[in-house]
């Protein structure tokens, strides 16, 4: 006769007691309860009978031989590879799309080669100053006035030797170079729009700075990323539709 | 050949050694799949998938019970198959009665040496047990199959099912409770079960 008075909690404890999964203290407590309660004893008997019954169930004979052939394993390898292509392609499509958006926004935000124009202007100004120091306006204007012959015709002072002339020229050149070097620090201290742009440029990765300064490379990368994202997305869709 | 040696050879990619393991375990694996899935076609697919998966993963086997390792693979294959069948339902070609239970019970369940009446009663009992197992929710069925039919201990079952020990204990108790309730519906079946168990024990 089936036992129907044992609550689920005690049934669970009986189940664990049967499989010797209770700790020694609970095991001892439940054992004494079973001895005092015919309902628990009956439930335990039923559990024991059920477990024995289930354990006596025979194995079901396989309807065929499941030995694998090389072809079967080979085919499954291919199917597995196809299955692993879908997540790889979808991941690549997402990454390419993100990169494309990033490069495109960078291009719009930093303005490409125009950014570097500010730096180039400063460099050109420095070169001009160097030129002016090396060739004074009087000399240049004399050349323009056709007095070049007079300048070259001025005789050298008899007390200066060639060595002294070279030293004087070297000193002159050094002073011009020093002044030129001071242009950038002076520029940094000033509040000009180009300063902020150059600071941003300096913080960008080298590759990105190169790309921004080279519009052709940037456009090529944008087109490549765009095509790659589309192709990977279509490939992922294809393998998704082929997936079982 | 020794099982461990066959496993080592199979890990080196020797398909013949692996197939000898398949022959040794295919009844056990198919039984588990059949009882998990509740019908032969799905069990067949799950068993095939399980052995292919086992061959592909055998390098990850790191000792311990090979039976438990295989049971873990076939259990996962059964869950995959159940999900696949849920997405794409199929109609079984085997005849079924109104209670959705298979009327044709496998002939290999009967012992040729038994008396006809006894064989009929035992067959009825086995049919009743299979029917009750089929009615259990799959998460309970999985646990009772692993512990009470395959004979794994709680820790092995926990590893195979990927569940905490406490969950295994509670699910097993509830599964046994439901099995008892189900068998109660068969009237004298459980009494007969006592007798069969007593005879076999």
CB contact, 8 Å: B9 with chain A? no
Residue B68: which CATH number? 1.10.1740.10
pLDDT at res. B148:
94
- Per the prediction, chain B carries an average pLDDT of 82
Residue labelled with tokens 């040496």: B113
Q: Give the pLDDT band of residue B109 (cuts 50, 70, 90).
A: very low
CB contact, 8 Å: B6 with chain A? no
**Same domain, yes or no, for B103 and B176?**
yes
Provide the 3-class DSSP secondary structure of residue B94: coil
pLDDT at res. A56:
87
pLDDT at res. A82:
62
Yes or no: say if B134 and B184 are a contact pair by the CB < 8 Å rule. Answer: no
The last residue of one of the domains, among B93, B112, B134, is: B93
**Which residue does chain B place closest to A7, by CA atoms?**
B177
Yes or no: say if B10 and A67 are a contact pair by the CB < 8 Å rule. Answer: no
Query: Which residue of A15, A66, A69, A70 is the best one to mutate when testing the B interface, meaning the one whose CB has the most B CBs within 10 A?
Result: A66
Residue labelled with tokens 């064989």: B119
Q: In this structure, what are the phi and psi dihedrals at residue B96, rounded to the nearest 5 degrees? A: -130, 150
pLDDT at res. B160:
93
Yes or no: say if A222 and A103 are a contact pair by the CB < 8 Å rule. Answer: yes
Provide the 3-class DSSP secondary structure of residue B39: coil
| Model confidence pLDDT, tens digit, residues A14-71 | 999 999 988 999 999 999 999 999 989 989 998 998 998 899 888 999 999 999 988 8
**Same domain, yes or no, for B77 and B144?**
no
**Same domain, yes or no, for B83 and B102?**
no
Yes or no: say if B183 and B129 are a contact pair by the CB < 8 Å rule. Answer: yes
Domain total for chain B?
2
Provide the 3-class DSSP secondary structure of residue A243: coil
Low-confidence residues of chain A: pLDDT under 70:
1-5, 75-83, 110-163, 176-205, 207-209, 211-212, 242-244
**Same domain, yes or no, for B113 and B26?**
no
Range B45-55 average pLDDT: 94
Lowest mean pLDDT among A230-244, B85-99, B114-128: B85-99
Cβ pair A46:B190 closer than 8 A: yes
CA distance B111 to B113: 5
Cβ pair A68:B52 closer than 8 A: yes
CA distance B55 to chain A (A): 8
Residue B58 lies in domain: 1-93
Judging contacts by C-beta atoms under 8 Å, the chain B residues touching residue A60 are 27, 30-31, 34-35, 106, 108-109
Cβ pair A49:B22 closer than 8 A: no
**Same domain, yes or no, for B191 and B106?**
yes
- B88 conformational bin, left if phi > 0, alpha if psi -120 to 50, beta if neither: beta
Yes or no: say if B109 and B126 are a contact pair by the CB < 8 Å rule. Answer: yes
CA distance A65 to B22: 8
Find, among B132, B48, B29, the residue nearest to A61 by Cα.
Answer: B29
The last residue of one of the domains, among B93, B112, B133, is: B93
Calculate the alpha carbon distances from B6 to A70, A241, B61 in Å: 17, 39, 13
- What are B166's two structure tokens? 């406490």
Residue B185: which CATH number? 1.10.10.10
Calculate the alpha carbon distances from B50 to A70, A110, B57, B68, B121 in Å: 16, 57, 10, 13, 34
CA distance A233 to chain B (A): 24
**Same domain, yes or no, for B88 and B128?**
no
Provide the 3-class DSSP secondary structure of residue B192: helix
Judging contacts by C-beta atoms under 8 Å, the chain A residues touching residue B153 are 19
**Same domain, yes or no, for B134 and B146?**
yes
**Same domain, yes or no, for B109 and B73?**
no
CA distance A208 to chain B (A): 44
CB contact, 8 Å: B154 with chain A? yes
Q: Give the pLDDT band of residue B95 (cuts 50, 70, 90).
A: very low
Q: In this structure, what are the phi and psi dihedrals at residue B102, rounded to the nearest 5 degrees? A: -70, 130
Calculate the alpha carbon distances from A180 to A134, A233, B90, B127 in Å: 12, 54, 85, 100
Residue labelled with tokens 């456009």: A219
Cβ pair B169:A12 closer than 8 A: yes
Query: Which residue of A63, A64, A80, A84 is the best one to mutate when testing the B interface, meaning the one whose CB has the most B CBs within 10 A?
Result: A63
Indicate the DSSP class of residue B107: G
Query: Which residue of B26, B73, B123, B133 is the best one to mutate when testing the A interface, meaning the one whose CB has the most A CBs within 10 A?
Result: B26
Q: Give the pLDDT band of residue B138 (cuts 50, 70, 90).
A: very high
Cβ pair A21:B154 closer than 8 A: yes
Cβ pair A62:B47 closer than 8 A: yes
**Same domain, yes or no, for B150 and B72?**
no
The last residue of one of the domains, among B93, B113, B131, is: B93
**Which residue does chain B place closest to A59, by CA atoms?**
B31
**Same domain, yes or no, for B37 and B68?**
yes
Query: Which residue of B13, B176, B179 is the best one to mutate when testing the A interface, meaning the one whose CB has the most A CBs within 10 A?
Result: B176
**HSE (side-chain half, CA atoms, 13 Å) at B2:** 3
**Same domain, yes or no, for B81 and B166?**
no
Cβ pair A56:B197 closer than 8 A: yes
Lowest mean pLDDT among A93-97, B13-17, B84-88, B169-173: B84-88
**HSE (side-chain half, CA atoms, 13 Å) at B137:** 8
Spell B137-176 as b/e; 16+ CB within 10 A means b: eeebbbbbbbbbbbebebebbbbbbebeeeebbbbbbbbb
Does the pLDDT of residue B115 top 70, yes or no?
Answer: no
Does the pLDDT of residue B107 top 50, yes or no?
Answer: no
The radius of gyration of chain B from alpha carbons, rounded to an integer in Å, stands at 18
Judging contacts by C-beta atoms under 8 Å, the chain A residues touching residue B13 are none
Cβ pair A53:B22 closer than 8 A: no
Q: Give the pLDDT band of residue B47 (cuts 50, 70, 90).
A: very high
Does the pLDDT of residue B19 top 90, yes or no?
Answer: yes
pLDDT at res. A197:
58
Q: Give the pLDDT band of residue B1 (cuts 50, 70, 90).
A: low
pLDDT at res. A191:
47
Q: In this structure, what are the phi and psi dihedrals at residue B37, rounded to the nearest 5 degrees? A: -85, -30
A vs B: CB pairs below 8 A: 124
CA distance B175 to A226: 56
Cβ pair A16:B169 closer than 8 A: yes
CB contact, 8 Å: B93 with chain A? no
Q: How far is CA B45 from the centre of its chain?
A: 14
**Same domain, yes or no, for B56 and B124?**
no
Yes or no: say if B12 and B5 are a contact pair by the CB < 8 Å rule. Answer: no
- What are B130's two structure tokens? 């299979």
- B37 conformational bin, left if phi > 0, alpha if psi -120 to 50, beta if neither: alpha
Does the pLDDT of residue B26 top 80, yes or no?
Answer: yes
Cβ pair B22:A68 closer than 8 A: yes
């Amino acid at each position: 006769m089936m036992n129907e008075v044992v609550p689920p909690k005690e049934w669970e404890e009986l189940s664990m007691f049967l499989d010797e999964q209770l700790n020694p203290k609970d095991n001892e407590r439940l054992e004494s309860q079973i001895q005092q309660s015919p309902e628990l004893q009956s439930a335990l008997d039923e559990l024991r009978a059920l477990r024995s019954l289930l354990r006596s169930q025979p194995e079901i004979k396989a309807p065929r031989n499941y030995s694998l052939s090389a072809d079967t394993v080979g085919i499954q390898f291919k199917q597995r590879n196809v299955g692993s292509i879908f997540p790889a392609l979808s991941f690549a499509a997402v990454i390419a799309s993100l990169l494309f958006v990033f490069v495109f926004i960078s291009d719009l935000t930093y303005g490409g080669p125009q950014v570097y124009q500010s730096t180039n202007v400063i460099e050109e100004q420095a070169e001009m100053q160097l030129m002016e120091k090396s060739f004074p306006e009087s000399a240049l204007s004399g050349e323009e006035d056709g007095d070049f012959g007079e300048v070259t015709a001025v005789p050298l002072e008899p007390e200066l030797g060639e060595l002294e002339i070279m030293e004087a020229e070297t000193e002159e050149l050094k002073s011009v170079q020093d002044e030129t070097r001071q242009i950038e620090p002076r520029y940094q201290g000033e509040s000009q729009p180009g300063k902020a742009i150059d600071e941003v440029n300096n913080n960008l990765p080298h590759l990105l700075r190169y790309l921004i300064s080279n519009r052709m490379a940037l456009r090529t990368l944008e087109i490549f990323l765009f095509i790659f994202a589309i192709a990977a997305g279509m490939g992922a869709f294809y393998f998704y539709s082929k997936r079982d | 050949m020794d099982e461990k040696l066959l496993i080592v050879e199979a890990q080196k990619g020797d398909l013949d050694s692996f197939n000898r393991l398949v022959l040794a375990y295919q009844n056990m694996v198919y039984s588990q799949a059949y009882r998990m899935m509740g019908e032969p076609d799905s069990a067949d697919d799950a068993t095939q998938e399980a052995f292919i998966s086992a061959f592909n993963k055998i390098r990850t086997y790191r000792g311990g019970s090979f039976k438990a390792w295989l049971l873990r693979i076939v259990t996962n294959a059964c869950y995959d198959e159940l999900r696949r069948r849920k997405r794409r339902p199929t109609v079984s070609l085997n005849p079924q009665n109104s209670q959705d239970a298979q009327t044709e019970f496998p002939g290999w369940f009967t012992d040729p040496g038994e008396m006809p009446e006894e064989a009929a009663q035992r067959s009825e009992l086995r049919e009743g047990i299979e029917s009750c197992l089929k009615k259990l929710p799959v998460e309970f069925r999985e646990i009772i199959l692993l512990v009470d039919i395959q004979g794994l201990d709680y820790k092995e079952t926990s590893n195979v099912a990927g569940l905490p020990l406490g969950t295994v204990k509670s699910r097993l108790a509830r599964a046994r409770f439901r099995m008892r309730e189900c068998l109660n519906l068969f009237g004298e079946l459980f009494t007969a079960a006592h007798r069969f168990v007593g005879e076999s024990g």
